[in-house]
Amino acid sequence: MSEQRSDAASVGAVAARLLALHPKRIDLSLGRIERLLAALGHPERLLPPLIHVAGTNGKGSTVAFARAILEAAGKSVHVYTSPHLVRLNERFRLGRQDGGRLVEDAELVDALIECEAKNGGAPITVFEVETAAAFLLFSRHPADVLLLEVGLGGRLDATNVVTRPLAGIITRVSLDHLEFLGDTIEQIAAEKAGILKPDVPAVIASQLREALAVVERQAARVGAPLAIAGKNWTATEERGRLVYQDDDGLLDLPAPKLYGRHQFENAGAAIAVLRRAGMKLPAAAFEAGMIRVDWPARMQRLSAGRLATLLPPESELWLDGAHNADGGRAIAAALADLEERVSRPLVLIVGMLSTKDCAGFLKHFSGLARRVITVPVANDKALPAAALAEVARDVGIPVLARDGLESALDAAGKLDLTPAPRVLITGSLYLAGEVLAANGTPPQ
Q: 243 exposed, middle or buried (CB, 10 Å; 0-12, 13-18, 19+)?
A: middle
The residues that bridge with 167 in the sheet, in sequence order, are 51
The residues that bridge with 170 in the sheet, in sequence order, are 54, 204
Parallel, antiparallel, or unpaired for β 92-94 and 101-102?
antiparallel
The predicted pLDDT at position 406 comes to: 96
Degrees to nearest 5, angle at CA 268 with 265 and 272: 140
Tens of pLDDT, residue by residue over 155-186, are 999 999 999 999 999 999 987 655 666 679 89
**Residue 278 contacts residue 199 (beta carbons within 8 Å):** no
- What are the residue ranges of CATH 3.40.1190.10 in the chain? 2-292
Nearest to 302 by CA among 202, 401, 107, 439: 439
pLDDT tens by residue, the chain, 444 residues: 333 344 444 887 887 787 777 765 667 789 999 999 999 999 999 999 999 999 999 999 999 999 999 999 999 999 999 999 999 999 999 999 888 999 999 999 999 999 999 999 898 999 999 999 999 999 999 999 999 999 988 899 999 999 999 999 999 998 765 566 667 989 999 999 999 999 999 999 999 999 999 999 999 999 999 999 999 999 999 999 999 999 999 999 999 999 999 999 999 999 999 999 999 999 999 999 999 999 999 999 999 899 999 999 999 999 999 999 989 999 999 999 999 999 999 999 999 999 999 999 999 999 999 999 999 999 989 999 999 999 999 999 999 999 999 999 999 999 999 999 999 999 999 999 999 999 999 998
The predicted pLDDT at position 3 comes to: 37
Tens of pLDDT, residue by residue over 183-201, are 798 999 999 999 999 999 9
The predicted pLDDT at position 371 comes to: 97
Q: 9 exposed, middle or buried (CB, 10 Å; 0-12, 13-18, 19+)?
A: exposed
The predicted pLDDT at position 19 comes to: 76
Second-level CATH architecture of 2-292: 3-Layer(aba) Sandwich (3.40)
- 278-287, Cβ contacts within 8 angstroms, sequence gap of 24 or more: 278/166, 279/70, 279/145, 281/69, 281/70, 281/73, 282/73, 283/251, 284/72, 285/69, 285/70, 285/72, 285/73, 286/69, 286/72, 286/244, 286/251, 286/253, 287/72, 287/253, 287/254
The predicted pLDDT at position 97 comes to: 85
Q: 349 exposed, middle or buried (CB, 10 Å; 0-12, 13-18, 19+)?
A: buried
The predicted pLDDT at position 182 comes to: 61
Q: Distance between CA 243 and CA 253 in Å, rounded? A: 6
Q: Give the class (CATH, top level) of 300-439.
A: alpha beta
- What are the residue ranges of CATH 3.90.190.20 in the chain? 300-439
**Helix/strand/coil for 57:** strand
**Residue 176 contacts residue 352 (beta carbons within 8 Å):** no
Q: Distance between CA 346 and CA 343 in Å, rounded? A: 9
